[in-house]
């Protein structure tokens, strides 16, 4: 899209104050952000290093960077910040580590690390079972996202249980401190607290970031919004782009009300709506608009397009989930041939990952190539976690979590009793496990043989760390892996040789990424020395780890959750499982979260460019037995005149629907 429409142009050119761009699905919001960055650099002559754009995912940041550099010629775009919130937070903490009291090389705990730590803390406390673990972890995360300190949490606690969780929260934070570690939520929270306590530091950052742009603003949580407010200060140099109708992450702390909050916090806010859609047919948009109109709205918005009326939306009711999958697979097969389309033109979207299974089987049966996105991530793989733990320990010996993961991987004949004593020794002296393992005093508590083993380990690792500090850290890491014969360990543990080879390949890929990260920061980091610490920290945030994007080249049907589909588009979309308890999901019905489920459905519908087909199964096997299903209430909220129904009874549904009264549920009760 080379030409901007008048609304888009207004959004790009308006720089006299804070600006909220209400960008409907497919309205070219990324264009607006990238063009605005180019405009600021080229027309307003604002140096790129004073501009920052924030996204939620690395992928979005990467794409935005690419698009900006294709718009801005030469070196003018150098120094531009396009990063995720978390990456910006990481940079701030790294730069201000001294003030904050973190040693360089601090660790970043992901959700799993945090969970392991919490588990330990709660076990020491006694009587806390696994149920609580999830709850506590979630609660602490919520508190952090809402900027609630443990003092506030404790003061606000009404029940004994809440008081207990608040205390775990306190001890959890203390433990993180002791390990020289931060968790994901801290990456935002710590900068916010820093800026609150040190106005001069904030001023420094405000001078650095003179214009701020935020993508997917409806997904910000409270602490992220506060960070934005702090950085913008009174300058009003802010553009945010978002769509309240596509807010589907409230369950992980997103506050869509941050959009209306913006109006209060910045009274001079200019609101610009982008309603022209460049993706879908009018029919698809009509259906989407009709559905979302059932939600209350702060900002009204109606999408329209010039892409033609398009085919009616089809709603298919299949006898059961097997027939549903079969039908979709068969349709894709014949439709592709008949219309000379590609497999990659089709997407199958569902609410939950487990739904993918049946479709996978059916697609395989028909020999249809497919790709499932989502599922277990690269970083969840054990071999990656192992190697990352080694890397973390090299850089930060105080990271007890990493120590515990690594100490017996591969086996070093250090038993649980030795580790228990070591842990006690360490906590009495307020030192890390690694430090404790090196102490002479340990000999009076642990058999000599075990002390030797521990010390052999710490000495070896210290040497590895020294090697890594040299000029070829990557080769130091390679020889470390050879030292421990990690490959042999993988073969020993894997179910097959092939699996072990695959795992080793993953490890090599990880190290390659590390090398790339080091090369890159050597290239464009004028100010600071290249540090392996930084590269490892970035790896934890999955930055610089471009997943092999062969998927773009290959011709495969796309399978993914509705959540994962946000921001993408497909010519032909199948949304499956439109049943009560599935979409809307049962838990959401129970928690009265129907509006978010409706938005999720809206997101799905607006992914489609040309055709959209929604399916449901009349009977579905769940939790062992087969039950009748109820069609999703959202199907009743679509305009019947744009829809073709199939499988809802013998006689023609149009006859009934002509009256415009009948809902799917009433049709069902008539004919079933």
Partner DNA sequence: AATCCTGGAGTTTTT
Partner DNA sequence: CTCCAGGATT
The site for DNA (CB under 7 A) is made up of 56-59, 84, 86-87, 110-111, 130-131, 184, 187, 248, 251-252, 351-354, 374, 377, 408, 411, 413, 415, 541-542, 560-561, 563-564, 585, 587-588, 591, 593, 597, 621, 623-624
Establish whether 216 is a catalytic residue: yes
Shortest distance, position 112 Cβ to DNA, whole Å: 9
Q: Cα–Cα distance between 345 and 196 in angstroms, integer?
A: 49
Tell whether the torsion through CA atoms of 237, 274, 24 and 567 is positive or negative: negative
For 522, other C-beta atoms within 10 Å of its C-beta total: 10
Residue 144 and residue 189 in contact, taking contact as beta carbons nearer than 8 Å: yes
Instruction: Give the active site residue among 566, 599, 607, 633.
Output: 607
Establish whether 607 is a catalytic residue: yes
- 219/326 with CB nearer DNA: 219
Tell whether the torsion through CA atoms of 629, 634, 636 and 641 is positive or negative: negative
Q: Cα–Cα distance between 457 and 463 in angstroms, integer?
A: 10
**Angle at 316 (CA atoms; ends 313, 317), nearest 5 degrees:** 150
Residue 287 and residue 611 in contact, taking contact as beta carbons nearer than 8 Å: no
The single-letter DSSP state of residue 252 is: G
Q: Which tokens hold the place of 67? A: 């698009």
Shortest distance, position 414 Cβ to DNA, whole Å: 8
Establish whether 276 is a catalytic residue: no
Place of tokens 């769940």: 622
Q: Give 155's contacts (C-beta < 8 A, 6+ positions apart).
A: none
Shortest distance, position 663 Cβ to DNA, whole Å: 24
Longest dimension (CA), the chain: 89
527 by Cβ neighbours in 10 Å (0-12 / 13-18 / 19+) ranks as exposed
Shortest distance, position 594 Cβ to DNA, whole Å: 10
For 112, other C-beta atoms within 10 Å of its C-beta total: 12
Q: Cα–Cα distance between 13 and 252 in angstroms, integer?
A: 34
- 55/611 with CB nearer DNA: 55
- 165/349 with CB nearer DNA: 349
Q: β-strands 346-350, 81-84: how paired?
A: unpaired
The single-letter DSSP state of residue 103 is: P
Shortest distance, position 374 Cβ to DNA, whole Å: 4
- 67/336 with CB nearer DNA: 67
Establish whether 30 is a catalytic residue: yes
Residue 34 and residue 312 in contact, taking contact as beta carbons nearer than 8 Å: no
- 220/305 with CB nearer DNA: 220
Shortest distance, position 137 Cβ to DNA, whole Å: 10
Establish whether 29 is a catalytic residue: yes
- 49/115 with CB nearer DNA: 115
Shortest distance, position 249 Cβ to DNA, whole Å: 7
- 391/640 with CB nearer DNA: 391
- 83/164 with CB nearer DNA: 83
Instruction: Give the active site residue among 215, 324, 581, 597.
Output: 215
Helix (H, G, I), strand (E, B) or coil at 295: coil
Helix (H, G, I), strand (E, B) or coil at 95: helix
3-state helix, strand, coil in the chain (%, to 5): 55, 15, 30
- 198/630 with CB nearer DNA: 630
Q: Which tokens hold the place of 445? A: 């508590």
Instruction: Give the active site residue among 7, 8, 30, 398.
Output: 30
Shortest distance, position 253 Cβ to DNA, whole Å: 8
Nearest C-alpha neighbor of 563 from the set 285, 315, 247, 295: 247
Q: Which tokens hold the place of 262? A: 């913006």
Q: Cα–Cα distance between 247 and 218 in angstroms, integer?
A: 6
**Distances in Å between the alpha carbon of 364 and those of 301, 330, 584?**
41, 11, 28
CA 591 to chain CA mean position, Å = 23
- 267/624 with CB nearer DNA: 624
Nearest C-alpha neighbor of 143 from the set 174, 169, 106: 169
Shortest distance, position 501 Cβ to DNA, whole Å: 20
- 333/421 with CB nearer DNA: 421
User: Which residues partner with 616 through β-bridges?
Assistant: 317
Q: Cα–Cα distance between 540 and 543 in angstroms, integer?
A: 7
Establish whether 215 is a catalytic residue: yes
Residue 228 and residue 238 in contact, taking contact as beta carbons nearer than 8 Å: yes
Shortest distance, position 123 Cβ to DNA, whole Å: 9
Q: Give 482's contacts (C-beta < 8 A, 6+ positions apart).
A: none
Q: Cα–Cα distance between 383 and 73 in angstroms, integer?
A: 42
Q: Cα–Cα distance between 58 and 542 in angstroms, integer?
A: 7
Instruction: Give the active site residue among 218, 246, 601, 609.
Output: 246
Shortest distance, position 10 Cβ to DNA, whole Å: 31
Instruction: Give the active site residue among 183, 216, 243, 581.
Output: 216
Residues forming the active site: 29-30, 215-216, 246, 607
């Amino acid at each position: 899209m080379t030409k901007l429409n008048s609304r888009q142009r207004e959004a790009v050119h308006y720089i006299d104050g804070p600006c909220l761009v209400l960008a409907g699905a497919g309205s070219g919001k990324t264009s607006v952000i990238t063009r605005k960055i180019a405009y600021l650099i080229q027309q307003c002559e604002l140096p790129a290093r004073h501009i920052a754009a924030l996204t939620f995912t690395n992928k979005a940041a990467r794409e935005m960077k690419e698009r900006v550099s294709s718009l801005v010629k030469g070196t003018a775009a150098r120094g531009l910040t396009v990063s995720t919130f978390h990456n910006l937070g990481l940079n701030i903490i790294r730069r201000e580590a001294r003030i904050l009291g973190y040693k360089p090389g601090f660790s970043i705990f992901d959700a799993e690390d945090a969970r392991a730590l919490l588990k330990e803390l709660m076990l020491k406390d006694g009587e806390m079972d696994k149920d609580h673990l999830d709850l506590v972890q979630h609660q602490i995360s919520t508190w952090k996202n809402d900027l609630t300190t443990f003092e506030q949490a404790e003061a606000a606690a009404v029940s004994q249980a809440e008081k207990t969780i608040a205390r775990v929260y306190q001890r959890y934070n203390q433990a993180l401190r002791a390990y020289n570690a931060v968790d994901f939520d801290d990456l935002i929270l710590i900068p916010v607290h820093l800026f609150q306590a040190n106005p001069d530091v904030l001023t420094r950052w405000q001078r650095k970031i003179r214009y701020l742009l935020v993508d997917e603003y409806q997904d910000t949580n409270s602490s992220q919004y506060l960070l934005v407010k702090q950085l913008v200060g009174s300058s009003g140099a802010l553009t945010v782009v978002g769509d309240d109708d596509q807010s589907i992450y409230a369950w992980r702390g997103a506050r869509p009300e941050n959009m209306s909050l913006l109006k209060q916090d910045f009274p001079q806010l200019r609101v610009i709506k982008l309603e022209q859609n460049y993706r879908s047919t009018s029919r698809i948009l009509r259906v989407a608009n009709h559905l979302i109109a059932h939600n209350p709205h702060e900002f009204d918005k109606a999408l329209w397009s010039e892409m033609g009326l398009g085919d009616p939306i089809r709603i298919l009711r299949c006898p059961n989930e097997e027939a549903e999958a079969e039908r979709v697979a068969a349709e894709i097969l014949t439709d592709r041939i008949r219309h000379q389309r590609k497999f990659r033109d089709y997407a199958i979207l569902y609410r939950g990952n487990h739904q993918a299974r049946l479709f996978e089987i059916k697609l395989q049966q028909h020999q249809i190539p497919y790709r499932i996105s989502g599922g277990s991530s690269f970083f969840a793989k054990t071999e990656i976690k192992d190697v990352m733990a080694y890397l973390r320990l090299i850089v930060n010996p105080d990271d007890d979590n990493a120590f515990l993961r690594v100490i017996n991987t591969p086996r070093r004949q250090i038993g649980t009793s030795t580790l228990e004593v070591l842990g006690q020794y360490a906590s009495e002296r307020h030192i890390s496990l690694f430090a404790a393992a090196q102490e002479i005093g340990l000999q009076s508590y642990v058999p000599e043989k075990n002390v030797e083993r521990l010390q052999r380990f710490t000495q070896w690792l210290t040497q590895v760390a020294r090697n890594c500090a040299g000029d070829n850290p990557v080769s130091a890491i390679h020889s470390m892996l050879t030292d421990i014969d990690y490959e042999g360990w993988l073969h020993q543990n894997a179910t097959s040789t092939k699996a072990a080879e695959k795992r080793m390949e993953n490890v090599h890929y990880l190290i390659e990424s590390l090398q790339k990260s080091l090369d890159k920061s050597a290239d464009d980091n004028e100010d600071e020395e290249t540090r392996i610490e930084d590269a490892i920290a970035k790896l934890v945030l999955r930055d610089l780890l471009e997943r092999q994007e062969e998927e773009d080249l290959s011709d495969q049907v796309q399978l993914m959750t509705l959540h994962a589909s946000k921001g993408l588009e497909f010519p032909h979309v199948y949304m499956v499982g439109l049943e009560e308890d599935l979409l809307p999901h049962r838990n959401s019905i129970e928690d009265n979260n129907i509006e978010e489920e409706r938005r999720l459905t809206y997101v799905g519908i607006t992914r489609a460019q040309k055709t959209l087909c929604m399916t449901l199964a009349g009977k579905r096997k769940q939790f062992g037995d087969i039950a009748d299903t109820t069609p999703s209430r959202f199907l009743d909220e679509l305009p019947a005149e744009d829809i073709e129904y199939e499988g809802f009874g013998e006689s023609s549904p149009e006859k009934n629907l002509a009256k415009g009264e009948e809902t799917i549920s009433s049709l069902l009760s008539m004919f079933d």
